[in-house]
Chains A and B, each alone.
Chain A
Amino acid sequence: MMTLSELARRPAPWLVGGAPERDIVLSSRVRLARNLEGHRFTHVGDAQELRVLRAEILKATGSAPRLGGASLWTMEELHEIERRFLLERHLISVDLVKNVLGRAVLVSQDEGEGLMINEEDHLRLQAFASGLAPDRALARATSLVAELDLQMRFAFSERWGYLTACPTNVGTGLRASILVHLPGLVLTNDIEKVLNGLRRLNYTVRGFYGEGSGAMGALFQISNSVTLGHSEEEIVAELLHHTRKVIACERDARAILWEREPRRIEDRVWRAYGILTHGRLLQTKEAFELLGDLRLGVSLAIFDGLDESILNTLLMNIQSAHLQVVAGRTMDPAQRDEARARYVREVLTKSAPRKDDR
């Protein structure tokens, strides 16, 4: 059982490591929605009903080997900043930040799997993998859901598959998403063309924080919205296929930029490095943009000694609730900007020996 501040002090394992396509893809995630047979869905349940359901689900998860040693947080017991921390960490959704009664989250020891209890559906399982590996995330999620399937009866119909509170999730209850970094397409102004192409294919494209968030630092989440009529493997394979096309476009864009305007790109990257290593106040949005530029610099080999793992971890840890959980106190925006700038300076000066300018 981990504490939140222990969690905040270590990098999210699914953001680090020699992951496939890591110069463009940060992580892959799969979510499966399940509900218990014979119960009303969360949004119509009262507090008592939701607590009983939570207890029932927790009892069942007790015998799931993949959740052995998992950490449990019940939402009623957390401060809002702590819930926001879990949101920033991608372990819970906005729903659980706002609605706390009878809600909980379980997080596996290696943070590779999680289970939200009484979100829009009774169970929302998540599995993470670093880099472009939605198939690996699906395999993990499928194994976990199979363990739970032995312990409880999920609402299922032969015709419609797994029954969910919202008909947009019915069938597989699967949402696979891939977090990508597309600065090349943003700088060449081709990004809207590519994203609209994805939307026409029924994919949802969102910013780093998911639903309703704008894109900061050229980070986008691509996910499926069709959940019925195709198998889990088909949905993930399709997403993988289309993401590979986006990756190819991004590689082309970077090559064109580097060929046509190397000085402009170098300048952009070094300016970002300058501000990040010397600034005294950093707002989240600015930090995201600058770290995004730096990430581009790493992939174009403008730096050595810095890698994607360090930058991905920074992107996670500079968020407001992360800073406050690490500090162990609430901070006003000005204090957060100062703490953020200090933290970024410390990490970057430690790990970024500069390459001589050509």
Chain B
Amino acid sequence: MSCDSCGGDNATLQYTEVMGASKKVQWFCQGCAEARGLLAWQAEAASAQEDAASGVLGTIVVEQTSTIRLAPGRRCDACGMRLSDLRNTGRVGCPQCYETFREHLEPLLRRVHGATEHRGHGPGAAQDREHVQHELARLRRELLDAVRREDYEQAARVRDEIARRETELAQGGAKRP
């Protein structure tokens, strides 16, 4: 098979690009595929196979027709996982892998999630929440007490404080507002 880029006769990679209804099939040799960044895409496509079915990132299909020797690549110090394992399974081996393979994961995360930074809850929020919950329980007792005493001014103050804390709790320790 000849390479559609350099014309050489050792094309090993079939590259199919799907844009809406049109489909373009090209063949590339290892060098030209690498130069075009197709090998990285291939790894991403493999790791996202599960999602491809649901159409999340099913727009680029790269099919391998003969074995491409990928350098086994970097290895995670913590769990021994290699970059090639990540490419094959689509999964990382341990929490440390996220740092080890950062440069390979970031483009994938951007493609799948449209983001590379977490904006949700974090650990430790539980302790904060527990504290707020205790405070809320105390304030509710105080409110009942004030109503019983018919001290409505104090009751209104406590009521507003409860509302404020409840909102805080509902926002659930969001790391960044």
Contacts and interface: CB of A to CB of B under 8 A. Distances in A.
Nearest to A42: B91
A226 interface: yes
A204 B112 CA distance: 13
Interface string A36-67: 01111101100000000000000000000000
Interface string B106-129: 001100111111111111111101
Contacts of B56: 202, 204, 225
Nearest to A231: B120
B interface SS class:
loop
B115 A229 contact: yes
A230 interface: yes
Contacts of B123: 149, 153-154, 156
A interface majority secondary structure: loop
Contacts of A161: 118, 120, 122
Contacts of A165: 91-92
Given A168-B50, A172-B120, A199-B55, A155 B95 contact: yes
A154 to B, nearest CB: 6
B155 interface: no
Contact of A41 (B50, B55, B93, B130): B93
A85 to B, nearest CB: 25
A171 B113 contact: yes
B82 to A, nearest CB: 11
Given A168-B48, A171-B120, A39 B94 contact: yes
Contacts of B171: 233
Given A35-B95, A146-B126, A233-B172, A159 B117 contact: yes
B174 interface: yes
B130 A150 contact: yes
Contact of A228 (B53, B78, B113, B130): B113
Interface residues of A, number: 51
Contacts of B174: 231, 233
Interface residues of B, number: 45
B47 interface: yes
Nearest to A196: B55
B98 interface: yes
A227 B119 CA distance: 10
B22 interface: no
B91 A228 contact: no
A12 B89 CA distance: 35
Contacts of A227: 113
A37 B95 contact: yes
A147 interface: yes
A236 to B, nearest CB: 11
Given A40-B93, A150-B127, A167 B109 contact: yes
Contact of B51 (A38, A162, A206, A225): A225
Contacts of B112: 167-168, 225-226, 228
A147 B130 CA distance: 9
Given A146-B125, A159-B117, 13 more contacts: A41-B94, A142-B172, A146-B130, A149-B126, A163-B98, A167-B47, A167-B92, A170-B98, A199-B55, A202-B56, A228-B116, A229-B116, A232-B172
Interface of B: 47-48, 50-51, 53-56, 78-79, 81, 89-95, 98-99, 105, 108-109, 112-127, 129-130, 170-172, 174
19 contacts: A40-B78, A41-B92, A146-B130, A157-B98, A160-B98, A160-B109, A160-B116, A161-B118, A166-B90, A166-B92, A167-B92, A167-B105, A170-B113, A171-B120, A205-B54, A226-B113, A229-B115, A230-B115, A230-B119
Please name the 7 residue pairs, one residue from A and one from B, whose CB atoms are nearest each other, closest first. A229-B115, A161-B118, A155-B95, A146-B126, A149-B126, A228-B113, A172-B120
